[in-house]
Amino acid sequence: MTKLPTGIQTFSEIRGDNYAYVDKTEHIYKLINRGKYYFLSRPRRFGKSLLIDTISELFKGSKEYFEGLYIYDKWDWSVKYPVINISFGSGYFATKEETLQSIEDQLRQIIRELDLECDNIRNIYGCFSDIIWAAHRKYGQKVVILVDEYDKPIIDVISNKPVASENREILGSFYSAIKTNDKYVKFAMLTGGKQVQPGESLQQTE
């Protein structure tokens, strides 16, 4: 009997351990080939994290996990992209300090994973910009940026307007580094629970 991946959000675990998987790679393939920047707004537990992880493994060139799927013989596996993964899915962001700490911790993790450097981790905009540029330069490919639950630090404190405003300002500055470094970006997707109006920029959403 095929195992069901209840609660599992890691694509490599689902495929590697032979859990049931509904092939969505045709949709992913079309998505990637039709555009560069995407927002996906859905409630929690609607598969956003698994989608993000699947896209991450695809751009990293993890060919073994895609065997038998739609995209397997259509993707150029000879090209591997540097992938920046950021997630605000865990934790509670009750203060601006907690939001800043989460961002700094994740920037440190990205620096370790991609073997990069950042002069001032506390300057989150500058550090994020440096990471995008340095990753492109080091690996010779444009960068893929995947952010899961991008708006959770705002949603967590939506009833506390002063803190929500502070968190919105922090995230706005942080995400603006993506637009600033557009020429180094191959693909970017942000998922969250906030409704985004067509035409809103990365910075405007925050």
Kindly state the average pLDDT of the residues 153-164.
94
Q: Is residue 97 part of a domain?
A: yes
* pLDDT band, very low/low/confident/very high, at 46 (cuts 50, 70, 90): low
Mean pLDDT computed over 134-158: 96
Q: Is residue 200 part of a domain?
A: no
Domain-located, residue 116: yes
R_g of the chain, CA atoms, integer Å: 17
Residue 186 located in a structural domain: yes
Residue, of 192 and 131, whose pLDDT is higher: 131
The domain containing residue 33 runs over which residues?
Answer: 11-192
CB 132 within 8 A of CB 178: yes
Per-residue pLDDT at 196 exceeds 60: no
Q: What is the CATH number of the domain that holds 74?
A: 3.40.50
DSSP secondary structure string, 23-49? Answer: --HHHHHHHHHH-SEEEEE--TTSSHH
> Helices then strands (H, E): number in the chain?
7, 4
Structure confidence at residue 18 as a pLDDT band (50, 70, 90)? confident
5: in domain: no
pLDDT of residue 197: 42
Query: What is the model's pLDDT at position 83?
Result: 98
Structural domain count, the chain:
1
Task: Examine residue 112 and state whether it is found in any structural domain, yes or no.
Answer: yes
Segment 116-139, tens digit of pLDDT = 999 899 999 999 999 999 999 999
Ordered strands of the 143-148 beta sheet: 37-41, 185-192, 143-148, 83-87
The pLDDT value recorded for residue 204 is 42
pLDDT score for 126: 97
- With a threshold of 0.85, does the pTM exceed it? yes
pLDDT, mean over the chain? 89
pLDDT band at 37 (very low <50, low <70, confident <90, very high): very high
Is there a domain that residue 184 lies in?
yes
Q: Is residue 67 part of a domain?
A: yes
| pLDDT score at 132 | 98
